[in-house]
Chain A
Amino acid sequence: MRRIWLVATVLLLAGCGVEPSGVTDGGDAPTGVAPGVTLYFVDGQGVLTPQPRGSDHLGTITEAVSLLLTGPGTSGLHTEIAPTDMTRVVVTTTPDLIQLVVPLTVRDVTPLGIDQLVCTALGVHVQSGGSRRMVVRVRFTLATPESDRLRTCPLISPGR
């Protein structure tokens, strides 16, 4: 008889309330802070090279791509994107695609220039906590098949 009551009491207590717990894992820590943004230019040998800019914060993809369009400055690197006064870039991010609408025609950029755009956008995306498996589509102002290609950056491996 006493055992039955014991079981009943244990059952009663077990169902009640929010129990205190120990320290438990709650997922990946947030990320996104950075001392600056990383832009991609081309060095003298024609190799894509990252260039960190000490801009105090990471910022958005739009800001990074706009900064990229303004050129490498005096650093021994050069850009393969034709200079333009218009640096306004529209970025649309969906769960599996980043779309850049750049104020350029396909003739304004070399393939390396397209990689500069893709790597800069993807770099910001990864640094702010995004997946490295993300793909990028660069849309140009004039209609071209290049606008529909899905691209990845050769320097940022899809990794895990």
Chain B
Amino acid sequence: MRRLGLRARLVVAFVLVTVLGAAAAAWSSAGSASAALVTATQARLCESIAGQVGAVAPQLTYPPDQEALDRLRAAVGPDTLVTYRGLRSGTDNGLATGALRAAVRNGDRLVTQRVTAGDRPWLLVGTPVMITAPDGTRTASGIEVYAVRDLTAVEAQIDDLTRSAATTAALALPLALLLALLAAGSVLRPVRTLRDTARRLAAGDLDARSPPRGADELAELTATVNEMAESVQASMAAMRRMQADARRFAADVSHELRTPLSTLTAVVEVLAATTDGMAPDARESAQLAITETHRLVRLVEDLMEVSRFDAGTAHLRVEEVDVAGAVRDCLRARGWLDRVELVAADGVESRVVLRADRRRLDVMVANLVGNALRHGAPPVRVHVRADPAWVWLEVTDGGPGLPEHVLPHVFDRFYKADAARTRTPGSGLGLAIALENARLHGGDVTAGNTGAGGGARFVLRLPREGV
């Protein structure tokens, strides 16, 4: 039962109840009709036997002789046994039970008993014949009459009744099935609507609603689901607004900082040109100011870049790029050529050409390699691999690798793997920017470890044909 669907269970239960009800009603009426039939038949047989005995009794000699008993037996009909003390007329067919004989012998009433013999129902009738005095007192005469009557005809009638009851119950079946299907449909339709709505909600369509109909439990459930969708939609909207606010704030701040920063940069450059003539401790302070100013400039630039990605205003300027050359240029521009090893995998054509934004490719490589140099340990290697569809740039280092708990967060903005080391030369946005750039190209960046005891491995994957 539990394995069936809701509809099947509803239908089965409904049909079962209806058919059982119809069967019970039909059977009980058939039962009482048969009981009445049996009672009436029995009463008729008893009356007729008593009447037959009573009709012939006044003409019988008493005490009776064999001839009188024979006359009495003939009057009652076939299958009759008449006894008087030692005398008997008729054949004892053995059907009369001991209980019946005792009741006849010791009583003054006509008695009956139903028995089954040879697969047929019989009615046994036994009666004493009484002597009535003129004043009405009755005494037993000693004459006993036993008769057997066949009840097969009654049983056939009862069987007919039973059959018609069964037919009635069976006729209720198709009707019950039809009603059950209709009822199940009307119950399940709202359930199905609700399920569809829930599915659409789960798929992200927060506008999905189902109109509640009626005032039953299903309507309540529908209303509740609608309310739930409403509140989810509201909180989603609030969250989006807050996110948008936060991004706009970051964008505004970085934009506002740019002007004063460019002034500051100019001043710092002037300061840098004059450090030679300073006292050593003053020069150290000036140098620190210069470094931090450059870091600040880089941070603001990164922030603006991220803001552009968030605002969807980042554009690709796609051109043909030689990957190995671009990587080498990138490393050379940052003075990393002696610290990073550029490897081309076996079987790769010497010149891997890619359709990409040269500036953004440079940023990606610089951020990945810079991250490896800052947080990993030598040797830092860049592998280039390619197949007809994709290009892979794999940046590995010889450091301890990324801990398990860090892996899911390495691309988060301002995520610090080591909470104690809060101050690092990077902006904390480098990997996030690399990932956004890769996505902009239709590729991605994955983080992992090189395997047993190896360092971290970042794999940048880009489509060769661009987007």
In the complex, A110→B154 CA distance in Å? 58
Known: A14-B31, A57-B59. A30 touches B130 (CB 8 A): yes
Contact B57 A25 (CB under 8 A): no
Residue in contact with A57 in the complex, picked from B58, B132, B154, CB distance below 8 Å? B58
Q: A7 to chain B: which residues have CB within 8 Å?
A: 20
Q: CB-defined interface of A126-148 with B at 8 Å, one 1/0 digit per residue?
A: 11110010000000000000000
B16 at the interface (CB under 8 A from A): yes
Residue in contact with B131 in the complex, picked from A11, A12, A33, A157, CB distance below 8 Å? A33
Q: CB-defined interface of A84-114 with B at 8 Å, one 1/0 digit per residue?
A: 0000000000000000000000000000000
- Give the residue name and chain of the A residue nearest to B23 (CB): A11
Residue in contact with A32 in the complex, picked from B53, B109, B121, CB distance below 8 Å? B53
A152–chain B nearest beta-carbon distance, Å: 13
A24 at the interface (CB under 8 A from B): yes
User: Could you tell me which residues of chain A, from 9 to 26, have a CB within 8 Å of some CB in chain B?
Assistant: 11-12, 14-26
B361–chain A nearest beta-carbon distance, Å: 71
A8 at the interface (CB under 8 A from B): yes
Contact B129 A23 (CB under 8 A): no
A150 at the interface (CB under 8 A from B): no
Contact A23 B116 (CB under 8 A): no
A83 at the interface (CB under 8 A from B): no
B344 at the interface (CB under 8 A from A): no
B219–chain A nearest beta-carbon distance, Å: 31
- Give the residue name and chain of the A residue nearest to B134 (CB): A123
Contact A57 B61 (CB under 8 A): yes
A47 at the interface (CB under 8 A from B): no
A68–chain B nearest beta-carbon distance, Å: 14
In the complex, A16→B165 CA distance in Å? 11
Contact A15 B34 (CB under 8 A): yes
Contact A18 B109 (CB under 8 A): no
Contact B109 A27 (CB under 8 A): yes
Q: A159 to chain B: which residues have CB within 8 Å?
A: 135-136
Q: A12 to chain B: which residues have CB within 8 Å?
A: 23, 27
Q: CB-defined interface of B121-161 with A at 8 Å, one 1/0 digit per residue?
A: 10001011111111110100101010000010011001101
Which among B42-50, B364-372, B426-434 touches the partner chain?
B42-50
Known: A30-B129, A31-B131, A57-B60. A11 touches B24 (CB 8 A): yes
Contact A18 B57 (CB under 8 A): no
Q: B28 to chain A: which residues have CB within 8 Å?
A: 15
- Give the residue name and chain of the B residue nearest to A38 (CB): B134
Q: B60 to chain A: which residues have CB within 8 Å?
A: 32-33, 57
B54 at the interface (CB under 8 A from A): yes
Residue in contact with A35 in the complex, picked from B63, B136, B159, B165, CB distance below 8 Å? B63
In the complex, A25→B16 CA distance in Å? 42
A61–chain B nearest beta-carbon distance, Å: 9
B112 at the interface (CB under 8 A from A): yes
B113 at the interface (CB under 8 A from A): yes
B25–chain A nearest beta-carbon distance, Å: 10
In the complex, A17→B109 CA distance in Å? 27
Most buried by B among A7, A20, A30: A30
Q: B34 to chain A: which residues have CB within 8 Å?
A: 15, 18
In the complex, A157→B394 CA distance in Å? 133
- A-B CB proximity, top 5 nearest: A32-B57, A30-B53, A18-B121, A123-B134, A31-B130
User: Which residues of B line the A interface, CB within 8 A?
Assistant: 1, 16, 20, 23-24, 27-28, 30-31, 34, 38, 42-43, 46-47, 49-51, 53-54, 56-64, 97, 99-100, 103, 107-116, 121, 125, 127-136, 138, 141, 143, 145, 151, 154-155, 158-159, 161-162, 165
22 contacts between A and B (CB under 8 A): A12-B23, A15-B34, A15-B161, A18-B155, A18-B158, A20-B115, A20-B121, A22-B113, A23-B100, A25-B112, A26-B109, A27-B47, A27-B109, A28-B50, A29-B50, A56-B61, A57-B59, A57-B62, A124-B58, A127-B134, A129-B57, A160-B136
